[in-house]
Structure 1
């Protein structure tokens, strides 16, 4: 089941209604870009990260469960994954977004058991 990937963990420090747009995003091994868009709807929370020139302008969608910590003072979001894992993630497609069930499942599967770091969420 992949539905839990779309929720923040209780330890992430997420504040409901907080605007994370523009926050820097840090993987376990360094900066990966900035938050371009986010949703904090219950059960449908995610970040869209613009990786800039790091991986040639690719945008990736990170489900809320990948967030391990939010530092409001530093305006940084820390995610549980390496640059390589994020680079290999399915690319964010604005035209599909989350309305496409197959796309949502593809994203959810990558970030659940056997995918992103092999973690079970």
Structure 2
């Protein structure tokens, strides 16, 4: 059976170029992306509201995105400007806490994506749309004191060192994101320490260790494996054939099987 070709944003930097449109007008542009470091899934777009709400940044969940317009470079939301304007205030200088996430979700009537525990990246579901469709409004879950949200900024993670089992190979340059599940499907790595001027893509599923304080990620691959793996040309389409070759070269289980 032929596998359906996955639809992917070219890279995370492209996402940051998109405008955000409420049902009644433009509210600003994407300033950053917040990634869940456990599920490697985009949880929020951080939006700079610019002239509309000067000095204020707001979070937009993929659960609020109705449509991605690739030609016009914009996200169309199922929210009004008034709804967004009255959303819980975000302290741009502080990490997003789990308590804030609950407040945010309860305001929009979204169930928490981290509970109940399930196989999907969005609670029991694979996509944010499915979670919204099955949400019980005003649902809440207990949060332990000091519980972490496990959110990492795109700006923060970009530039992290990437290590093979036997040494450093380069650094994180970008991400490839699936626009259906909002999963970080691949990390784009500049292999300047191993293969100057060339790039590879590696799956977060192959990560064996992350040292956040050292800004370092270790992959379950050797330098030789990566050097002999498929090269990635920035902005190229990720076809089913390319993915098959990638996983076979690295001898990794295929996520689509």
TM-score when scaled to structure 1?
Answer: 0.70
Asked whether 1:112 is paired with 2:103, we answer no
Cα offset, 1:16, TM superposition: 5.9
Asked which structure has the greater CA Rg, the reply is 2
Q: Which residue of 2 aligns with 1:66?
A: 64
In 1, the alpha carbon distance for the partners of 2:98 and 2:35 equals: 19
Give me the TM-score of the superposition, normalised by structure 2: 0.36
2:54 aligned partner: 56
**CA-based RMSD:** 2.4
Query: How much does 1:28 deviate?
Result: 0.2
Gaps of 5+ in 2: 1-6, 111-131, 136-257
| Matched positions, count | 102
2:33 is aligned, of 17, 38, 60, to 38
**Structure 1 position 102 matched with structure 2 position 95:** no
Distance 1:110 1:97, change over 3 A: farther
Normalized per residue, the structure richer in helix is 1
Equivalent residue number for residue 181 of structure 2: none
| RCO higher in structure (CA 8 A, sep ≥6) | 1
Hey, which bits of structure 1, 4+ residues long, moved more than 4 A? Answer: 40-44
Distance 1:96 1:29 in 2: 30
1:15 aligns with 2:8: yes
| Long gaps (5+) in structure 1 | 1-13, 114-118
2:77 is aligned, of 70, 76, 79, to 79
Q: Give me the whole-angstrom Cα distance separating, in 2, the residues matched to 1:17 and 1:101.
A: 30
Local SS of the residue matching 1:53: coil
Secondary structure at 1:91's aligned position in 2?
coil
What's the CA shift string for 1:47-98, capped at 9, x where partnerless?
A: 1111112112211011110011111221101111111111111122234433
